[in-house]
Structure 1
Amino acid sequence: MEGTVASALDQLATQTERSPALWATVVPAIRQMIITGALAPGEHLPEGELAKALQMSRGPVREALIELEREGLVVLRRHRGAQVIALTADDVEEIYTLRLSLERLAIERALPRLTDEHLATMDEVLDGMRELGPEYEPQTALELDLAFHHVLYAAAGHARLDRAWQQIRSQVAMFLHSRHVARRDFHEIAYAEHKAIRDIVAGGDSAAAVEVIEQHLIGSYHRLIAARPD
């Protein structure tokens, strides 16, 4: 077995051992390893090896890989098993243009539904962004970024929109993590950009809110492309 996969399996087994609901930890653990690059794009994920490392039957492992395929992180091929997705520049463009469409709808619907609680949550996330320094952890930046945007989807009150977002969220997370590793400037731009979004949605101007989210996501896309090795 390739070294990175073997190392990741050791880590996965350590994370999930003695869990009272062992199978429930498999999806988030493998997901996190893919998002952070511990399992690299193109890596094979042998079902039998995963099951052995986790000391469980192959059934729960197979179900976990199917779920990760739904999230766009794993490719399942007949007779070839599971493989970590390798996303191209075209994939990035497709996912970001889809995200832009989803977030336009989210912010339009969120405006009349925003509560003081939603704004307070945004403010908590903004406090975390403001406290980041040059040595921030990429995972911390990723979590803060997604937490802020989650408020907009939650406030939108649109179940199908939320499901559409969940289908691409893990791929977006993988992009963002790699961007934070390659280009360490989140602490310089995140607070100001997200604070502008918060203030505009709090003011209730729908056209201005759509414009600011478009500017933010287009900027995020271009920064990601600039940070990619291809």
Structure 2
Amino acid sequence: MTRSVQRAASLGQQIADIIRQRIVRGELQPGDRLTEESLADEFQVSRGPVRDAITQLSFEKLVEVHKPRGIYIVGLTDDDVEQLYSLRAALEQLALQRAMRVSDDARWRPSREAVTRMLEAADRGDHADFLAADLDFHAQIYALADHPRLEGAWSQYLPTFTSLLDVTINHDEDLHESAADHDRLYAVMRSGDVAAASSVLAQHLAGAEERMTMELAARREA
């Protein structure tokens, strides 16, 4: 199916986002071959944005470029998933500890609003809205940390984390348990108990990693 992209945004980033989603969802399998020409034709762009997209995906270890043969999908292994979630845990634990120094209620309001949106999305069974609110909630932890370099590290891997979250959220038909996890994490962060908040966050991320690992196992058995 031919896909078009919006000219207002970075073409390379949009193309990378689409290919990344296909890889993480399993629509593109390890060993599958792509070419710049076929991608340029599909997205109706020149080869420049395609090369930008492939450079980004190569950095993320999702593809490998073998000139002149083409672009090969690497995909995700259990080890990749472990590395990505351990990286996220390290980043987010630091962000959480720094965020919990903030006492200004106004600065915490966007986090509370994100939890509310998750609870409402869970009631509607709206996975897309839940995904957006979930990402917003975690982004607020980094914003509250007041650590631009830490927030930059989160932003660098955010496209990959987004694709993983898209899979793990859609793994759950009922989103209420995940919404309750975020509600609990918000409450414990506001309580000021750093150890308890760290534990809740660790359990939350471990659960997401387990769901992604189960998804990969199911694909191998299919």
TM-score (norm 2): 0.81
Structure-1 separation of matches of 2:135 and 2:63: 21
Q: Hey, what does 1:191 align to over in structure 2? A: 179
Structure 1 pair 70/178, CA: closer, same or farther in 2 (3 Å)? same
| Letter of the 1:28 counterpart | Q
RMSD after superposition: 2.7
Instruction: Give unmatched runs, 5+ long, in structure 1.
Output: 1-6
8 Å Cα contact 1:96-1:221 kept in structure 2: yes
User: Aligned pair 1:176/2:187, yes or no?
Assistant: no
Out of 204, 207, 211, the position equivalent to 1:219 is 207
User: Aligned pair 1:116/2:113, yes or no?
Assistant: no
Once the two structures are superposed, what CA deviation does each residue of 1:22-60 show, in whole Å capped at 9, x if it has no partner?
7x1341244045326485243433212222344443223
User: Aligned pair 1:40/2:28, yes or no?
Assistant: yes
Q: Offset at 1:104?
A: 0.9
Q: Offset at 1:88?
A: 0.8
Structure-1 separation of matches of 2:35 and 2:202: 40
Identical positions, percent: 31
| Letter of the 2:99 counterpart | A
Structure-1 separation of matches of 2:187 and 2:19: 35
8 Å Cα contact 1:73-1:171 kept in structure 2: no
Structure-1 separation of matches of 2:36 and 2:199: 46
Out of 136, 151, 154, the position equivalent to 1:147 is 136
Secondary structure at 1:113 match in 2: coil
Structure-2 separation of matches of 1:108 and 1:212: 13
Structure 1 pair 65/161, CA: closer, same or farther in 2 (3 Å)? same
Instruction: Give unmatched runs, 5+ long, in structure 2.
Output: none
User: Aligned pair 1:126/2:152, yes or no?
Assistant: no
Out of 183, 205, 224, the position equivalent to 2:193 is 205
Structure 1 pair 132/73, CA: closer, same or farther in 2 (3 Å)? same
Structure-2 separation of matches of 1:214 and 1:54: 39
